[in-house]
Structure 1
Amino acid sequence: MDDQEPRDGHPTRKTVLRAALAAGLAAPAVLVGVPALARTGAVPGGAAPELTPTCDDGDDPTPPQMEGPYFKPNSPRRTSLVDAGTPGVRLTVTGWVFGRGCRPVPGVLLDFWQADVNGAYDNAGYRFRGHQFTDAQGAFRLTTIVPGLYPGRTRHIHVKAQAPGRPVLTTQLYFPGEPRNATDPLFDPRLLMTVRDAGSGAKEAAFDFVLDVPQTPGPTTPPPDGTWSPGTAYRPGDRVTYGGRGYVCLQAHTAQAGWEPPGAPALWRAG
């Protein structure tokens, strides 16, 4: 399931955040009070995965997993683990890192490592190993390949995540629809990425981390005069006013603080 189209028809927090950043809005103004789903996808057999970890003021962070035998410190700092001649299906992984208060965390160290297309780890050098830091908006982007199958395991990508001055989270990310998900004893559906075809044989994946970083939700202020109201279920084509300006609803959703029309261009068009 694409994370842009959740089952209930409501846009995800990632939809709103991506649209806001694309529009040049400051992320914190959009993020206040909006729940963040760390991943969507389906477990084997088509059942919906457990809807955790979510960023909802006190919910559990992204679950940890074992490091495995092939971690190496001192990986190079880079956002791409491939070059023009690297074999394998190109994969771009994007997402955000949030704290316990549903707010993005900049400067988080993310150290990725994985197997190559043949399922082998480079233990002599640093192929398919690299670290990066989340940007000022708490976002990250990794360019790599879909890893090959390692004996006894399903496809996965290892990662260590550490916010400044906080403990390290060691975990693994998984791919939906993999036959070995059902037999891998380490597989956890809460760590499924959302994966889709990106054209030309490439794939795109998304995953949001929630780290054990204490936060308080951002400040809230009463909305300006207008007909827009939190808690109201809006449908495409509905019209509201907010702060003296009219807006047209673009996607069905239930309004809540943080999705005010001026700061949610994925949901509202001025007019």
Structure 2
Amino acid sequence: MQQTKFNRRDLVAAGLAAAGFAALSPPVPALGQGAALPLTPSCDGKAAVTRRQTEGPYFTPSSPLKPDLRGDGAGEMLALSGFVLTPQCRPVAGALVDLWHANVGGDYDNSGFRFRGHQFTDAQGRYQFLTRVPGLYPGRTRHFHVKVRAGRGPVLTTQLYFPDEPGNTRDGIFDRALLMAISAAEGGRLGRFDFVIAG
């Protein structure tokens, strides 16, 4: 039987991936471990639906089922995790989460699917992408594009932003309500954002 060898880079990447779910509050184990349903974020019974934003000019339909985008190019690693929830704060299992963003140079891949991928939330409504911190697209602050859809329900199209970016105040599309929670981790950053979608 062939033995798999892991180098330090592989171990750091795996640790960061697991830490992405560990960063959820309260702690959530990594996908695939068959853990019990964690408590979702606190809610007073009615959460505001995530704000919509333009998809921009570079959306490409039919992205691959691919939650790990690290192989699509260079850049600082980022594990983006969170929940998809109803306005009553119930987790939405099987929701489509589609992510796309610019590469480290600020360019979008318009002929292929680099830094483009989708996944479906697990039974607890959790999602996680492993990707790279996007570069600055001319005229915009640093951001991710996202579409979220549960079943045949309406599609939520929005963008996510990085806190403390100098370009936030100059970007006419920027919305503070769409700021991710970002923290440092060994080998990269952890991002957290919970989407609330209408039925």
Q: Same fold (TM over 0.5)?
A: yes
Counterpart residue type for residue 15 of structure 1: S
Secondary structure of 1:27 counterpart: coil
CA distance in 2: counterparts of 1:169 and 1:129, whole angstroms: 17
Identity of aligned pairs, percent?
51
Q: Deviations over 1:140-187 (max 9, x none)?
A: 010110000000000000000001121000000000010000110010
The answer for the alignment partner of 2:193 in structure 1 is: 207
Secondary structure of 2:177 counterpart: helix
Q: Which residue, 186, 190, 197 being the options, matches 2:177?
A: 190
- How big is the shift at 1:24? 6.9
CA distance in 1: counterparts of 2:60 and 2:48, whole angstroms: 28
Unaligned runs of 5+ in 1: 1-13, 36-54, 214-271
- How big is the shift at 1:194? 0.7
Q: Aligned in 2, Cα 1:132/1:24: closer, same or farther, shift over 3 Å?
A: closer
Counterpart residue type for residue 27 of structure 1: L
Counterpart residue type for residue 185 of structure 2: A
Preserved contact between residue 93 and residue 206 of structure 1 (Cα < 8 Å) = yes
Q: 1:16-165 counterparts in 2 under 5 A?
A: 16=26, 18=28, 26-27=36-37, 30-31=39-40, 35=42, 55-83=43-71, 86-165=73-152
CA distance in 1: counterparts of 2:48 and 2:93, whole angstroms: 20
Q: Aligned in 2, Cα 1:26/1:86: closer, same or farther, shift over 3 Å?
A: same
- Specify the structure having the higher radius of gyration (Cα): 1
Preserved contact between residue 162 and residue 182 of structure 2 (Cα < 8 Å) = yes
Q: TM-score, normalised by structure 1?
A: 0.61
Preserved contact between residue 56 and residue 100 of structure 1 (Cα < 8 Å) = no
Secondary structure of 2:26 counterpart: helix
- How big is the shift at 1:86? 2.7
CA distance in 2: counterparts of 1:78 and 1:170, whole angstroms: 19
Q: Aligned in 2, Cα 1:24/1:127: closer, same or farther, shift over 3 Å?
A: closer
- How big is the shift at 1:100? 1.4
Q: How many residues align?
A: 176
- How big is the shift at 1:57? 2.6
Preserved contact between residue 90 and residue 146 of structure 1 (Cα < 8 Å) = yes
Q: TM-score, normalised by structure 2?
A: 0.81
CA distance in 2: counterparts of 1:137 and 1:17, whole angstroms: 13
Unaligned runs of 5+ in 2: 1-23
